[in-house]
Amino acid sequence: MQPHNDQRVGLAYGFGAYTMWGLLPLYWHLLDAASPFEILAHRMVWSLPVAVVILAVLRRWSWIGPLLRQPRRLGLVLVCSLVISANWFLYIWSVNAGHVLEASLGYFINPLVSIAFGVLVLRERLRPLQWTAVGVGLLAVVVMTVAYGKVPWIALGLAFSFATYGLVKKGIKLDGIEGFSAETAFQLLPALGILVFLAVHGESRFTTGGVGQALLLAGCGIATAVPLICFGASAVRLPLTTIGMMQYLAPAFQFLLGLTVFHERMPPERWAGFALVWAALTVLTWDALRTARRARTALAEAAARAGAAARRAGAPVAPPRSDGLTR
């Protein structure tokens, strides 16, 4: 069981990460003149210097040696870097192609996928209401598929890629900044190759789009590093089911942006699918609050019983009476 303070820190990191991710479509929209491949490459290239600066400030280098001596963990870091790269590309493309609402659906579905992974892979046990929520989420995907006449592949791709990323990170056991630094180190050379290719062919917005565009592309490092570091710090402190529950914060922001800023259409069948997902998340939230309340009550009762037992054990023994009888 995680210490209470550790869980509180994990929750704070998680809320920060998902709020920042929820607002990212606004940033990617400023870069829509650049191709998704170029934006992705800049995310990779500029993230590593940001990570290195943070490591230098914190003087946290001791993890590198042990990691290099553990091929299995290095392999998991490589898997993380590949999966999150695919997730980044699909998200950037979907935002700049006018699919913010479907992208938000993917991150609404993501908590349900994370919970399913927790059961299937980590053997975490679900309560009946959690099973109900997962079932309603599956129904939502079916409704969307039937209504649109096609599988919502953007949403499913984002949901499964990010849930896989969270699952693999559980096995690496690196804190937020260390894990992020290791992943971006794997990404650096391929990203540099993409940028050189674009520059040679005259397709680089970094070199032809002016100072403002260049600064925005360079800022991808900060926009990427800060929430991902927070997520990594949260993932190693919280159960996967808790991470899954928190993840609907980001798509809530994305959904509102899709409606109010990007003015995307919401036909009835899309509302129906979203309504089912929201119903599933409502069930999850209510179940989590009820379970947390019961756990706090049980903990308080156990503490009270332990205190009473300790007082009884430490009470002074009454001296015998002078007439030989006990008191």
Q: Quick check: helix, strand or coil at residue 70?
A: coil
Q: What is the pLDDT of residue 327?
A: 36
Q: What is the pLDDT of residue 3?
A: 60
- pLDDT for 300 beyond 60: yes
Q: Other C-beta atoms within 10 Å of 319: how many?
A: 8
**Whole-prediction pTM:** 0.78
Q: 137 falls in which pLDDT band (50, 70, 90)? A: confident
Whether 157 and 83 have beta carbons less than 8 Å apart is answered as: no
Mean pLDDT calculated for residue range 47-75 = 91
Whether 283 and 276 have beta carbons less than 8 Å apart is answered as: no
Q: What is the pLDDT of residue 326?
A: 38
Burial letters 8-41, b for 16+ CB under 10 A, else e: ebbeebbebbbebbbebbebbeebeebbbbbbbb
The helix/strand count (H/E) of the chain reads as 14, 0
- Tokens describing residue 134: 């997962």
- pLDDT for 325 beyond 60: no
Q: Quick check: helix, strand or coil at residue 60?
A: coil
Mean pLDDT calculated for residue range 34-43 = 93
Q: What's the mean pLDDT when you consider all of the chain?
A: 84
Whether 264 and 101 have beta carbons less than 8 Å apart is answered as: yes
- What tens digit of pLDDT does each residue of 187-203 get? 999 999 999 999 998 88
- What tens digit of pLDDT does each residue of 232-289 get? 788 778 876 677 667 778 888 899 999 999 988 888 878 888 888 888 888 877 877 7
- pLDDT for 4 beyond 60: yes
Give me the phi and psi of 99, to 5 degrees please: -120, 45
Of 152, 167, 205, the residue nearest 30 (C-alpha):
205
- Tokens describing residue 235: 């993932």
Q: What is the pLDDT of residue 322?
A: 46
Mean pLDDT calculated for residue range 17-39 = 90
Q: What is the pLDDT of residue 207?
A: 86
- What tens digit of pLDDT does each residue of 116-134 get? 887 777 777 778 887 788 8
Q: What is the pLDDT of residue 65?
A: 92
Percentage of the residues of the chain whose pLDDT score is greater than 70: 92
Burial letters 144-167, b for 16+ CB under 10 A, else e: beebeeeebebbbbbbbbbbbbbb
